[in-house]
């Protein structure tokens, strides 16, 4: 006890998609963050977690059902098409208008993985689309600033660890580049789409040339993904797209049928081991 590795960290969790329910239930961003923090703390076995909450910044009115592909705007529909084309065994020939192609992509997901995955996919591209559509947009900056503020709140602690899940890894990456003065001892990305070509990677801020890089204030970066996580594309991990990834494991098995949720990742012993908890 007392060594650097055993200091209880200031632990920041950054959520992914489908977290607006915290805001809807509590009515404020602060209460939503506190509620999400209690869940993350429970999933990590009692280690206190401060959640960088940003879901309310990406909400654009009342969404249709998550499975309603026809309600996706053109940008989100394009993300769905490009994402699914990277999951299919062979590239598809573009046919029809964007809506028809998006519907075909969603139908392929249904046949291959079931309706639950289809519903998740349409929700995922809708929220990712709101975030990525405008490089300097107010929603993107607000989400990024919310995460940056949560990390900055730990500046007086001896050890700061950030665990960023799914879309949260994208928001965190950009937040850390936007505020290089922020110091993070360990960044752990879970189920990250940061390297997804044509969908996320090429739209990052700052824009990568051939490769991205570890944010300047991060001492160590570990990337973890489930072997079946459809969001963590490419399946080979982030090391092929980013300099400064110190370690990664891309063949975790976090749960029997749950390939992506934060809950399953945080309850996985291999994840807590990498966090040093």
pLDDT value, residue 174? 98
pTM: 0.93
Q: What is the mean pLDDT of each run of 10 residues along the chain (277 residues)?
A: 62 96 96 98 96 94 60 91 85 68 89 88 93 93 98 94 98 98 97 95 93 97 94 93 96 80 94 89
The 10 Å Cβ neighbour count of residue 5 is 7
**What are the angstrom distances between the C-alpha of 41 and each of 23, 117, 147, 229?**
18, 26, 18, 23
Q: Going by C-beta distance under 8 Å and a sequence separation of 6 or more, which residues neighbour residue 258?
A: 264
Residue with tokens 């049928």: 257
pLDDT value, residue 252? 92
Count of residues for the chain?
277
Q: Are 52 and 170 in contact (CB under 8 A)?
A: no
Q: What is the 3-state secondary structure (H, E, C) of 241-260?
A: CEECCCEEEEEECCCCCCCC
Q: Considering just the CA atoms, what is the radius of gyration of the chain in Å?
A: 18
Q: Phi first, then psi: give them for residue 188, nearest 5 degrees.
A: -115, 120
- The domains found in the chain, sorted by start residue, are 4-59+134-275 (3.40.50), 69-132 (no CATH)
């Amino acid at each position: 006890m007392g060594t650097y590795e055993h200091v209880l960290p200031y632990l920041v969790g950054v959520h992914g998609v489908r977290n607006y329910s915290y805001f809807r239930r509590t009515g404020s961003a602060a209460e939503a963050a506190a509620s999400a923090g209690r869940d993350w703390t429970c999933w990590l076995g009692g280690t206190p977690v401060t959640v960088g909450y940003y879901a309310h910044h990406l909400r654009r009115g009342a969404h249709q059902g998550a499975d309603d592909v026809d309600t996706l705007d053109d940008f989100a529909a394009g993300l769905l098409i490009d994402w699914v084309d990277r999951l299919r065994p062979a590239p598809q020939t573009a046919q029809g208008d964007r809506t028809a192609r998006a519907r075909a992509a969603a139908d392929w997901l249904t046949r291959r993985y079931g309706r639950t995955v289809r519903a998740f996919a349409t929700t995922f591209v809708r929220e990712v689309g709101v975030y990525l559509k405008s490089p300097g947009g107010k929603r993107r900056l607000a989400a990024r600033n919310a995460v940056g503020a949560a990390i900055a709140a730990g500046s007086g602690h001896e050890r700061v660890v950030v665990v960023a899940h799914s879309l949260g890894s994208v928001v965190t990456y950009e937040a850390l580049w936007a505020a290089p003065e922020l110091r993070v001892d360990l960044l752990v990305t879970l189920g990250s789409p940061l390297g997804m070509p044509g969908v996320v990677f090429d739209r990052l801020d700052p824009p990568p040339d051939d490769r991205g890089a570890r944010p300047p204030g991060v001492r160590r970066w570990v990337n973890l993904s489930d072997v079946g996580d459809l969001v963590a594309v490419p399946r080979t991990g982030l090391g092929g797209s980013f300099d400064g990834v110190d370690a990664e494991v891309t063949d975790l098995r976090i749960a029997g049928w749950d390939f992506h949720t934060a809950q399953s990742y945080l309850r996985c012993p291999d994840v807590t081991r990498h966090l040093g908890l």
